[in-house]
Amino acid sequence: MNPAPPTAPPPDDARLQLAVLGMTCAACVGRVERVLTRSPGVLDARVNLATEQATIDYDAHLTDPDALAAAIRDAGYEVPPRDPEAPAGGDARARLEAIDAANDVEAKQDRRDLAVAAALTVPLLVVAMSHGAIPGTAGALGRWLQLALATPVLFGPGRRFFRLAWAALRHRSADMNVLVALGAFTAWAWSAAVTIVSPASMHGHAPVYFEASAAIVTFMLLGKLLERRARRHLGDAVRALVAMLPPTATRLRGGVEVEVPIASLLPGDRLRVRPGQRVATDGVVRDGHASVDESTLTGESLPVERAVGDPVQGGTLVTDGTFVMEVTRRGADSAVARIVDAVAEAQGSRAPIARLADRVSAVFVPTVVGIAVVTFAAWMLLGAGLAVSVERFVAVLVIACPCALGLATPAAIAVGTSRAAALGVLVKGADALERGASIDRVLFDKTGTLTEGRLRVASVVTTGGRPEGELLALAAAVEAGSEHPLARAIVAEGAARGATPKAASGFASTAGGGVRATVGGKAVRVGTARWLLAEGVDPAALEGEARAAAGRGETAVFVAEGASLAGLVTLGDTPRAEASAAVKALAAMGVGVAMVTGDREATARAVAATVGVTEVFAEVLPAEKAERVAAERAVGRRVAMVGDGVNDAPALASADLGVAMGGGTDVAASSADVTILRGGVGAVALVLGLARATRRTIRQNLFWAFAYNLVGLPLAAGALEPLTGWTLSPVFASAAMSLSSVSVLVNSLRLRGWRP
């Protein structure tokens, strides 16, 4: 069942998003979440390994961001410093810059450590694999040389694994670092003991594994460097969105222009915007005029003219002209900034399919250590000797990879939501993307969804010889208080005909019915025939004209003055250009389509026939739309409801997937799971297709992560040796482990090139 739409947190609650660096696997995620949830005042904490982000809901009276960051650092992880002047939630630009800056520092250290480790490990491998063929490397001298090469690798570049392993154990947890540290140290300790302590007579018989201990560290460092590079691409979509907002703006104060960071902008500030510049935040033009490219928000390819009194949105590009604008929203509250934050939060969310990996990861490391101990004991009992038993013990420890399990779902979700944003679709969370993959039924609203929503008045019919202009003025007086597309069209037509509306008072609206107000001392109602009848006004006199209009695909709006029917206004709406192709695309995907609308039956069917929809539910009230969704779900269908996000809110909230038709200035209604920013209704098939591709990628990642460990562990333990003679040395086991998580990331990054 679709979860209830999120509600605004109580005033005392706050949400904090922090970058968390140094996590390596799902066990790290679990440890950070446990540390946070046990902290005083924390209500909920969600940590994402792929995006290196923690989202924390907390009581602002009981804790603060600095205390939460300190708790994470105490658990052994890094939290980049945040601006103390920034709001608790911060902003995506600051978080992304902090993560990138910290990752750049860590990447430099990774490269230095890898260079040192490789410089010592390569000659060590040559010496070890020559088996004394190189002069001076045989016997005790060769072992001492290997000890001299391996020790700096283990306790130099490899010290990070010991530090992180100790931090994990200190918090009664175990992660990948425990496996690496234990495996590398065991191989080195055994070899050092053989070299230093054992009698000289044993040197020719007891093998040493110095090359394994050094190779484990070197391959892990290589894997981490490759993983870091691949992981960086997960945030490319957010970086592209952030790039739409300039870092600074030109503020006007006392006639003086000053360049200031957009984070310092406040409502009421005046900004100068010139050709070639991007608008810093949302506002209103107060002086001048310009052509503005809004394609990044609306998808409209042609620039629009903006003059005094017109709104402008942050992130749009001024192509010609200049103007002075007044800021109406802070930079962090602008349309683009909210889109950026929504995408970042969606990337950091957790899909239900991840629960299996979470459960496995919680016991993964202790289980692997147990398997390693059993392997050691089994080979000892079989008489293989201490050296072989140690080799198998180390191989089991270093081949197991909880990283791949931990990254399997969040990496695919991060890329999937990023790709959706790049295609003009805002997905609110991982669960929405997962539910979208199962949709087999789509219900469309009509007005503003399958049609343009730009209605025009087609005809005006009056009773009692009343002039058309007078009826339009009467209807416009009432509709002026409504934001419905029908209302806007009537008001616009009245203004175009010079029909000046009178003052209205006592405006009231009935969802799915109509509006009423008092005009000139009389109650005036504008709405559907069924609603007027319920209000005590008989619309029968104009039902014939209404039916004729419906046959033409027009919507009829009745007007009543007092208890008498005053006339009828019909309005036409053009189906969206992409609607027919969208319906065909969904049918090709095996998804059933129906129209659910409050319009009259004949009008709805006329539009449905034009776009190729054969199943129509007409004259349906908003509450009844939700009932229709429930009825579809009751027979086992997975339902997506597509509407305008306002009148269709009950249906959007009750569907398996709510899809709102929006724009850059109207980011996802709280009742919708997905908001289409551009592409119109044609993007619905895109959403479902991308959701299916993301689910397929997650399943591939999980399959290979599980399969890798299920095959790798028995092979490393030597279980296949009696049958096939196959064994796996710790050197190759460490190489396989380091590359497994990289393969999951690379597979997920394939979604960046997905096309509908």
Q: How far apart are CA 36 and CA 730, in angstroms?
A: 36
Considering the domain architecture, whether residues 523 and 447 belong to the same structural domain is answered as no
Is the confidence at residue 92, as pLDDT, over 50? yes
743 lies in some domain: no
C-alpha to C-alpha distance for 405 and 698, rounded to whole angstroms: 10
Pairing of strands 441-444, 592-596: parallel
Same domain as 312, residue 277: yes
What angle is formed at CA 287 by the lines to CA 285 and CA 290, rounded to 5 degrees? 70
pLDDT of 691 = 93
Per-residue pLDDT at 273? 93
Does the structure show a pLDDT above 60 at 645? no
Residue 496 in tokens: 């175009």
Q: In this structure, what DSSP letter does residue 202 have?
A: G
Domain presence at residue 120 = no
678-719 tens-digit pLDDT: 778 888 999 999 999 999 998 898 888 888 888 888 888 888
Closest Cα to residue 184, out of 148, 212, 146? Answer: 212
> What is the rounded distance in angstroms from the CA atom of residue 687 to the CA atom of residue 437?
9
Overall average pLDDT of the 575-579 stretch? 87
259 pLDDT higher than 80? yes
Is residue 246 a contact partner of residue 260, using CB atoms and an 8 Å limit?
A: no
Q: What tokens does 70 get?
A: 């300190």
- What is the pLDDT averaged over residues 464-477? 90
Structure tokens at 303: 């620039």
What is the reported pLDDT for 621?
78
- Residue 55 CA neighbour count, 13 Å, CB half: 16
User: For residue 543, what are its two tokens?
Assistant: 């039902």
* Distance separating alpha carbons of residues 550 and 42, to the nearest angstrom: 57
Q: Is residue 506 located within the same domain as residue 563?
A: yes
Give residue 633's pLDDT band: very low, low, confident or very high (50, 70, 90). very high
The answer to the question of residue 499 being in a domain is yes
Find the CATH number of the domain harbouring 47: 3.30.70.100
Distance CA 361, CA 400 (A): 11
Would 727 be classed as within a structural domain? no
Confidence check: pLDDT of 91 > 60: no
Contact 51, 347 (CB under 8 A): yes
Q: Which residues of 224-237 are buried (b: 16+ CB within 10 A; e: fewer)?
A: bbbbbebbebbbbb
Confidence of residue 660 (pLDDT cuts 50, 70, 90): confident
Residue 258: beta bridge partners?
Answer: 251
Please tell me which residue, 333 or 748, carries the higher pLDDT value: 748
Q: What is the pLDDT of residue 196?
A: 82
* pLDDT-derived band at 296, boundaries 50, 70, 90: low
Whether residues 513 and 471 fall in one domain: yes
Residue 668 has a pLDDT of 34
Is the per-residue pLDDT at 591 higher than 90?
yes
Which residues make Cβ contacts (< 8 Å) with residue 309, sequence separation at least 6? 284, 285
Report pLDDT for 298: 62
pLDDT reading at 478 higher than 60: yes
What was the pLDDT predicted at 437?
92
CATH of the domain at 522: 3.40.1110.10
Coil, helix or strand for 350?
coil
* Interatomic CA distance for residues 307 and 545, integer angstroms: 41
Do 524 and 583 share a domain, yes or no?
no
Residue 333 has pLDDT above 80, yes or no: no
Count of the separate structural domains present in the chain: 4
Distance CA(357)–CA(341), nearest Å, equals 27
Regarding whether 583 and 491 lie in a shared domain, the answer is no
Residue where a domain stops, chosen among 59, 75, 100: 100
Q: What is the mean pLDDT of residues 147-173?
A: 87
Q: Which domain holds residue 658?
A: 426-451+575-683
Paired with 325 in beta bridges are 271, 285
Say how far apart CA 33 and CA 599 lie, in whole Å.
50
Distance CA 65, CA 17 (A): 9
Token pair for 600: 């009259």
pLDDT of 235 reads: 65
Q: How far is CA 602 from the centre of its chain?
A: 41
Residues 6+ apart with CB under 8 A from 729: 212, 391, 395
Question: Token pair for residue 535?
Answer: 């209000």
Tell me: do 580 and 676 sit in the same domain: yes
Residues 396-417: what's their mean pLDDT? 80
For residue 3, what pLDDT band results from cuts at 50, 70 and 90? very low
The DSSP secondary-structure symbol of 302 reads S
User: Does the pLDDT of residue 670 top 60, yes or no?
Assistant: no
Choose the final residue of a domain: 100, 122, 141. 100
Q: For residue 184, name the pLDDT band (cuts at 50, 70, 90).
A: confident
Predicted confidence at residue 385, as pLDDT, reads 83
Classify strands 441-444 and 311-312 as parallel, antiparallel or unpaired. Answer: unpaired
Torsion, Cα of 185, 187, 189, 191 (10° steps) = -150
Which residue from 407, 276, 376, 268 is spatially nearest to 330, judged by alpha carbons?
268
Over range 100-116, report the average pLDDT: 85
Single pTM value for the model: 0.68
The pLDDT assigned to 12 comes to 53
**Is the pLDDT assigned to residue 284 strictly greater than 80?**
yes
pLDDT value, residue 263: 78
Q: How confident is the model at residue 651 (pLDDT cuts 50, 70, 90)?
A: confident
Contact 266, 329 (CB under 8 A): no
Is residue 357, in this structure, part of any structural domain at all?
no
pLDDT greater than 80 at residue 193: yes
pLDDT at 10 over 80: no
HSE toward the beta carbon, residue 512, CA cutoff 13 A: 20
Same domain, residue pair 596 and 679: yes
Judged by average pLDDT, the poorest of 206-210, 349-353, 374-378, 630-634 is 349-353
Domain final position from 683, 718, 740: 683
How would you class 439 by CB atoms within 10 Å of its CB: exposed for 0-12, middle for 13-18, buried for 19 or more? buried
Indicate whether 464 belongs to any domain.
yes
Write the DSSP symbol of residue 620: -
| Strands laid side by side in the 13-19 sheet | 13-19, 53-59, 42-48
Mark whether 433 and 444 lie in a shared domain. Answer: yes
What CATH number corresponds to the domain at position 430?
Answer: 3.40.50.1000
How large is the average pLDDT for residues 596-624? Answer: 85
pLDDT over 90 (residue 652): no
Where does the pLDDT of residue 53 fall: very low under 50, low under 70, confident under 90, or very high at 90 and above?
Answer: confident
CATH of the domain at 250: 2.70.150.10
Query: What is the number of other CB atoms lying within 10 angstroms of the CB of residue 468?
Result: 17
Give the model's confidence band at 54: pLDDT under 50 very low, under 70 low, under 90 confident, else very high: confident
Q: Which residues are catalytic?
A: 445
Chain centroid, CA 338 distance in Å: 13
Q: Are 526 and 617 found together in one domain?
A: no
Mean of all residue pLDDT scores within the chain: 82
Per-residue pLDDT for 34 more than 50? yes
Q: Is residue 156 part of a domain?
A: no
Would you say residue 178 lies in a domain?
Answer: no
**Region 617-634 average pLDDT:** 86
Q: What is the pLDDT of residue 228?
A: 76
Q: What is the pLDDT of residue 351?
A: 67
Domain identity same for 535 and 446 = no
The enclosing H or E element of 304 equals strand 304-306
- Say what the pLDDT of residue 559 is: 94
Give which of 25, 435, 449 is closest to 220, Cα–Cα: 25
Query: For the chain, how big is the Rg over CA atoms in Å?
Result: 33
Q: Tell me if 70 sits within 8 A of 20, measured CB to CB.
A: no
CA–CA separation, 18 and 81 (whole Å): 9
Instruction: Give yes or no: residues 568 and 626 share one domain.
Output: no
Q: What is the per-residue burial (b if ≥16 Cβ within 10 Å, else e) of 700-726?
A: bbbebbbebbeebbbbbbbbebeeeee
- Tell me what percent of the residues of the chain surpass a pLDDT of 70: 87
- Distance set, CA 388 to CA 384, 656, 730 (Å): 6, 56, 11
Q: Which residues of 350-367 are buried (b: 16+ CB within 10 A; e: fewer)?
A: bbebbeebbebbeebbee
How far CA 554 is from CA of 447, 462, 547, 620, in Å, comes to 11, 17, 9, 17
Amino acid at 376: F
Instruction: Take residue 189 and report the two structure tokens written for it.
Output: 């300790």
Element (H, E) at 98: helix 92-130
pLDDT at 667: 36
What letter does residue 331 receive in the DSSP assignment? G
- Residues in the chain, overall count: 756
pLDDT classification of 664: cutoffs 50, 70, 90 = very low
